Structure 1
Amino acid sequence: MGERTTRRTLLLAFAAALPVAAIGGLPGAAAADPVYPSQGDVDAARAAADAQAAQVASLQAQLTAQQDALDAAQTTLSVAAEDYDEARALLQQRTAEANAAQAAADRAAAAYEQARAALGRVASEQYRGVSDGWSPLATVATSGDIEDYVNGRATLEHLAGGRADVQREAADAKALAQSTAAQAAAARTAQQDATTQAAAARATAQRAADAATTVVAATQQRTDALIAQLATLQQTSVQLEQQRQAGLEAERQAAAAAAAQAAAQAAARSAARSSGAASVRRAAAPTAGAGTAVDQALAELGKPYLWAADGPDSFDCSGLTMHAWAAAGVSLPHSSRMQYSGQAKVDLADLRPGDLVFYATDTSDPSTIHHVGMVIAPGTMVEAPHTGANVRTSSIYRSGLLPLGTRPS
């Protein structure tokens, strides 16, 4: 009995000294659960992580594509809206020109009628004063055909003194009446063409606006869904993921601004070296009233963008700058392209509050300008940006910035 007890005690002591894994190898010992992941567990976890990372990357790429599509739609609308603004401003010019030409034609026609009447009186007097009963004017007076008389310069030799001047004046009045009537007709034709172009541009802009509005709504809905999926995959809250996406977008915009600034500075240096740079009309000192224009623009912060609008409740880009400078007594056309072409230029390094900066699809071609903003501080502007956004302040540095701004006066 004592020998069996001693043997059992020794076996227990020996077992206690062995590692746990070794106990499982002893005859009759029970199998224990592993205390670390198996290789299969590691492989499965790695595959799951890779799959999740791929999903996250895919969702992030979809978000980027969404933003790119939205940017493209907004640019398309910006271009179409500017086409309409320019066409409308051109129509206003053509209408004013047509009205002025018609008024000039009416005055010339009235002057010609007066000259015809004076010439008729001269013909009558000459007829009554002829002793032999015949003169060139007698035929005119009896037939009443003043036109033949006006055109017949040869009859001047039959008139004495100041009477010759009457015929000259009548002939000149007729020529002026004819030329001004032709100018008025051409101006009316140009006005009609401008009306047609403005109507077509408006229809195009409306289609672009409808498309942009649809893209804005769809993008927001899809973005919300993608962010929710990302939050689930990464085991974060939707709010935290929204903050993360906002941060990523801010980083993207900062990188784009830095690239745009470098590109604009390079373009400015190139423009300064070009042979045509000397012919550019440069602005003088800052315009009086620039502070008033800036204050007016800032007073519109938060109001919605609406293409072709110039206040008071909504604005497009050139409508805002036109409205702001009007408060300072400076008249600008409702067109960013015309606001560029019609004003003295300023280098980007010399911009002052109130100056205007412009954006184009081709920075070497001002005819592709589609956006304008007003400088309020170095590197900062106030703008009416695009559909779905409100009047805001932002960096002037973005893709498409022209190397020259303008200084309204």
Structure 2
Amino acid sequence: MTDRTTRRTLLLAVAATAPVAALGALVGSAAADPGYPSQGDVDAAQAAAGATAAQVAALQARLAAGQEALDAARTRLSVAAEDYDEARALLQQRTAEAVTARAAAQEAAAAYGRARTDLGRVASEQYRGVSDGWSPLATVVTSGDIEDYVNGRATLDHLAGGRADVQQEAASAQALARSTAAQAAAARTAQEDATTRADTARTAAQQAADAADAVVADTQRQTDALTARLADLQQTSVQLEQQRLAGLEAERQAAAAAAAQAAAQAAARSAGPAATAPRAAAPTAGAGAAVDWALAQLGKPYVWAADGPDSFDCSGLTMRAWGAAGVALPHSSRMQYSGQAPVALGDLAPGDLVFFATDTSNPSTIHHVGMVVAPGTMVEAPHTGANVRTSSIYRSGLMALGTRPA
């Protein structure tokens, strides 16, 4: 083999790891020194390869940071959307309470009016008896008949007793009217507060939705550009890099799921027997109907505050699914958690609900709910930009207890 052939072989070997710019420098060096690569050539090639590796690492770090920012934005949206759902569900409850309280106040006021009328009637009857010249004493004096006196006294006692009864009824009706009127006023105030909360939560949720949409779009643009750059640096295709990145993300999610499962199991063990959930009643036929209904929605888009039929948010999906099975749930993941029988994770069955929170020790931070369809698997309306899907229940924020609607 000639020196020139040896030189060419070495250059080709270095080219496998060096970008085009570095190759140009090597070719220029070869023209000046046709013998073999100098140490400077080797150092330059190694530096170019090292720079490429550093750029790849930096790009991958930026992609990971972008994914974390996207996850954080989705969580903020989920929290804001749940705040709105909870406020809206509370508004519905308070509105119903206000209507009931007003109706009760009106009925109590009417009862008081009837009692006042009865009281006036009794008083009028007693007055007429005296004004007509009738009295027990007059009866005895004029008739000399003790039986007439006894009958007259009984009549007077009856009227007096009736007056006392009616007076008591009137007083009770008045107290009830006042009490129910106060309840109606309190219910109206609560309704106004709930309305304000709902409006505020809706504004926050819309802002969070807009921010999440912006993050999704920006992250997608950055990801596309960085993936193309990564493919260029590593001399691969964009499609191959996309597949590789998807694989890395799947590995990250799997690791997070394993960590979440381990954390949930550790929390259950550390809680001890006193803190474990009581065993819920066995699932009913309604659970199967709820699961079937939820699975029939696969592929429909997530839209915050939506409850079908064409789009859903998380609690809207579970509410409608159980509604199809004849069980009424509020449109709020927090209220679905607090209002149903608790179930330990180890006892979950199809149809049960699982919850996710920013602080698993505080149910008021719950922001997501899914429905169990198989061991370790749920159907969910996940987040903006995604569709109803099945996924693992094990991920960050999983609450130690689920619930079983009934």
Smaller-chain TM-score bracket: 0.7 to 0.9
1:57 is matched with 57
RMSD over aligned Cα, in angstroms? 2.3
Q: Per-residue deviation at 1:288?
A: 2.5
Change in Cα spacing, 1:134 to 1:219, as seen in structure 2 (3 Å) is: farther
1:163 aligns with 2:160: no
Distance 2:122 2:290 in 1: 62
Judge conservation of contact 1:287–1:408 (CA < 8 Å) in 2: no
* Greater radius of gyration (CA): 1
Change in Cα spacing, 1:237 to 1:106, as seen in structure 2 (3 Å) is: same
Q: Per-residue deviation at 1:179?
A: 1.1
Judge conservation of contact 1:86–1:335 (CA < 8 Å) in 2: yes
Judge conservation of contact 1:354–1:374 (CA < 8 Å) in 2: yes
1:390 aligns with 2:387: yes
Distance 2:405 2:336 in 1: 8
2:384 counterpart SS class:
coil
Gaps of 5+ in 2: 5-30, 136-155
1:103 aligns with 2:100: no
2:364 is matched with 367
1:318 aligns with 2:297: no
1:16 is matched with none
Q: For 1:3-402, list aligned pairs within 5 A.
A: 34=34, 36-131=36-131, 160-273=160-273, 275=274, 277=275, 280-402=277-399
Distance 1:220 1:323 in 2: 32
Change in Cα spacing, 1:283 to 1:134, as seen in structure 2 (3 Å) is: same
2:355 counterpart SS class:
strand
Q: Per-residue deviation at 1:355?
A: 0.8
Judge conservation of contact 1:307–1:316 (CA < 8 Å) in 2: yes
What's the CA shift string for 1:54-77, capped at 9, x where partnerless? Answer: 110111011001100000000000
Judge conservation of contact 1:268–1:404 (CA < 8 Å) in 2: no
Range 298-307 or range 163-172, more displaced:
163-172
Distance 1:78 1:134 in 2: 81
Distance 1:294 1:20 in 2: 74
Gaps of 5+ in 1: 1-18, 22-30, 136-155
Change in Cα spacing, 1:61 to 1:32, as seen in structure 2 (3 Å) is: closer
What's the CA shift string for 1:95-120, capped at 9, x where partnerless? Answer: 11111111110110111111111111
Runs of at least 4 residues off by over 4 Å: 31-35, 131-135, 156-159
Change in Cα spacing, 1:127 to 1:312, as seen in structure 2 (3 Å) is: same
Amino acid at match of 2:304: W
Judge conservation of contact 2:356–2:369 (CA < 8 Å) in 1: yes
Amino acid at match of 1:364: S
1:130 counterpart SS class:
helix
Range 264-273 or range 205-214, more displaced:
264-273
